[in-house]
Amino acid sequence: KYGYNVFLSDRLPLDRVLPDTRDKGCLKKTYPKELPTIGVVLIYLNEALSVLKRALRSIIDRTPKYLLKEIIMVDDNSSNEDLKGDLEMYLKTLEQQNPTLKITRVRHNEQRGLAFARASGWRAATADVVAILDAHIEVHEMWAEPLLTQIKKDRTVVVSPVFDRVNFDDLKVIQYLPAAHAFDWALWCMYEGFTPEYYKLNDASLPGKSPSVMGILVAERKFLGEIGVLDEGMKVYGGENVELGIRVSKTTNLTQSL
């Protein structure tokens, strides 16, 4: 039903400890205190409740409070009953525990698809920067600061973190190395290496340029609006990732991967 081990997920702590998979160079980096605020958009459709709770918990626990302005929950017309009453009770608990954090609920009356849902989240956001994430994620410590630093340097870049794999069966985190996000003629997403010039720098903590963004993206909210966000009628799987890369490259820079 879900494509991952919900039985195990329901029994794991919501604040489970994740292995630190960052490059050694990242561990030595420092970031400015003065950074733009961030709003996190979580898009879901019949996701397991425990997975959603763990995503929320990790975002709140591992993002500095002065940076995390809001979380926007976009429900693309889920039918699971526990994503109504039970999830709402959990969201209210989080709001009580975090009075400065705004949690916005967006629910579609019919299933509209991923591109439309991402645009819905963007419209509801008010923070300086919007991070549009899948709901079946957990963030690492210091996940937001390097992304926000890149956007502070140049508001016209769209950035994406290196996202590790979570095994579907045992839910263990497997490290992924930095790579460009590419696509084939069927618009199927894939990983490709960065340019030879990037590897000559011999520093995996540096961001690399990428022609598209595979699902998870972070951008200045107003800039995303200036380039038209996404084609909300896009139905082809992965098509919105390619389209966004074209929008950004035609406007200013290619997208980047951190």
Query: What's the pLDDT at 81?
Result: 92
Q: How far apart are CA 258 and CA 249, in angstroms?
A: 17
Say if CB 40 and CB 146 are below 8 A apart: no
Q: DSSP assignment, residue 146?
A: H
CATH architecture of 6-257: Alpha-Beta Complex (3.90)
List alpha helices for 154-195, DSSP H.
none
Q: Is 249 exposed, middle or buried (0-12, 13-18, 19+ CB in 10 A)?
A: middle
For residue 31 the two structure tokens come to: 């970031």
Backbone angles phi and psi of 77, in degrees to 5: 70, 55
Does the predicted TM-score (pTM) go above 0.75? yes
- Which amino acid would we find at residue 203? D
194: CB partners within 8 A, 6+ apart: 178, 179, 180, 208, 209, 210
Phi, psi (degrees; rounded to nearest 5) at 251: -90, -50
- In the chain, the N- to C-terminal Cα span, in Å, equals 32
Task: Note the pLDDT tens digit of each residue in 37-81.
Answer: 999 999 999 999 999 999 999 999 999 999 999 999 999 999 999
Question: b/e per residue, 107-121, with b = 16+ CB within 10 A?
Answer: ebeeebbbbbbbbbb
Distance from C-alpha of 25 to C-alpha of 206, rounded to nearest angstrom:
9
* DSSP-derived pairing of the beta strands 38-44 and 68-75: parallel
DSSP state of 212: B
CA-wise closest residue to 59 among 225, 218, 189, 214: 218
Tokens 């929008």 appear where?
247
Reported as a single tens digit per residue, the pLDDT across 114-164 is 889 999 999 999 999 999 998 999 999 999 999 999 999 999 999 998 889
Which tens digit of pLDDT belongs to each residue from 91-110? 999 999 999 999 999 999 99
